[in-house]
């Protein structure tokens, strides 16, 4: 059955592995470059640097959080690592564009990446004109998802009503604070159908058909 989203007029989307499929492999390129940077900063062998990278991700919500706290890494230096990555593996998805266009109300990006990366990816996907604003890691003061503070800052910045908001994410744990605030949560990706988390409202392997089939609020 199609999802009932007739109460939604704010559409909040994660970016990476949500507005394009994880199967593209793009985030693998990001991760490899990140590991190389951790090796450079710490002097650790690659396998130990990768383990530390994942430890910081689990503890801080971002590898960057651990690098800032324990190694004095500047956010700008870290984010610049990814600004010249090839986007060739990311394909324009016309059905997704069409599905996004039919959504009534406001559309936002909510990403733990920086603004330059978000705008670059959205432009490559030809989706940049569809979003009212990008709320990125600098916008919420480095309180990354799933930190509830980042959600609170995003809601306050845009005057959002959580009950009228749907949040789409590929990371299950990032949906819990959204659910706790009253948002409708949608887990996206091949792993989604297997999720049994009580804070996930809807699950879909592919975003475009889910949005295309959803029941939406009627507009005048």
**Does residue 220 carry a pLDDT above 70?**
no
**Gap between the Cα atoms of 124 and 181, Å rounded:** 32
pLDDT at 181 over 90: yes
Region 160-176: mean pLDDT is 97
pLDDT exceeds cutoff 80 at 210:
yes
- Output the pLDDT for position 219: 76
Mean pLDDT over 3-30 rounds to: 97
58 three-class SS: helix
Q: Which fold has domain 26-82?
A: DNA polymerase; domain 1 (1.10.150)
Domain chopping of the chain, boundaries:
4-22+90-216, 26-82
Q: Which helix (H) or strand (E) holds 148?
A: helix 148-158
**What is residue 112's DSSP assignment?**
S
Two tokens at 156? 């306050």
Token readout for 61 is 């919500």
Q: What number is the average pLDDT over the span 59-71? A: 93
Architecture field, domain 4-22+90-216 = 3-Layer(aba) Sandwich (3.40)
Cβ–Cβ under 8 Å, residues 87 and 16? no
In the 8-state DSSP scheme, what is residue 88?
Answer: T
**How distant, in Å, are the alpha carbons of 20, 64, 111, 114, 185 from that of 124?**
11, 25, 17, 16, 26
Residue range 88-116, pLDDT digits in tens: 999 999 999 999 999 999 999 999 999 99
pLDDT score at 77:
95
Structure pTM?
0.95
């Amino acid at each position: 059955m199609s999802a009932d989203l007739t109460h939604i007029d704010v559409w909040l989307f994660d970016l990476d592995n949500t507005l394009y499929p994880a199967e593209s492999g793009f985030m693998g390129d990001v991760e490899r470059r990140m590991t190389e940077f951790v090796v450079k900063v710490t002097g650790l062998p690659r396998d130990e640097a990768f383990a530390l990278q994942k430890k910081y991700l689990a503890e801080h919500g971002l590898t960057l959080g651990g690098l800032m706290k324990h190694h004095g890494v500047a956010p700008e230096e870290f984010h610049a690592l990814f600004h010249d990555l090839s986007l060739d593996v990311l394909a324009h998805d016309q059905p997704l564009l069409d599905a996004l266009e039919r959504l009534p109300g406001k559309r936002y990006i909510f990403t733990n990446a920086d603004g330059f990366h978000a705008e670059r990816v959205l432009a490559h996907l030809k989706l940049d004109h569809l979003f009212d604003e990008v709320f990125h890691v600098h916008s919420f003061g480095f309180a990354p998802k799933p930190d509830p503070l980042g959600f609170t800052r995003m809601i306050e910045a845009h005057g959002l009503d959580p009950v009228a908001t749907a949040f789409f994410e590929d990371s299950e744990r990032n949906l819990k604070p959204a659910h706790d605030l009253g948002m409708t949560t949608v887990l996206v990706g091949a792993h989604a159908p297997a999720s049994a988390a009580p804070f996930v409202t809807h699950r879909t392997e592919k975003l475009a058909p889910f949005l295309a089939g959803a029941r939406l609020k009627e507009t005048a």
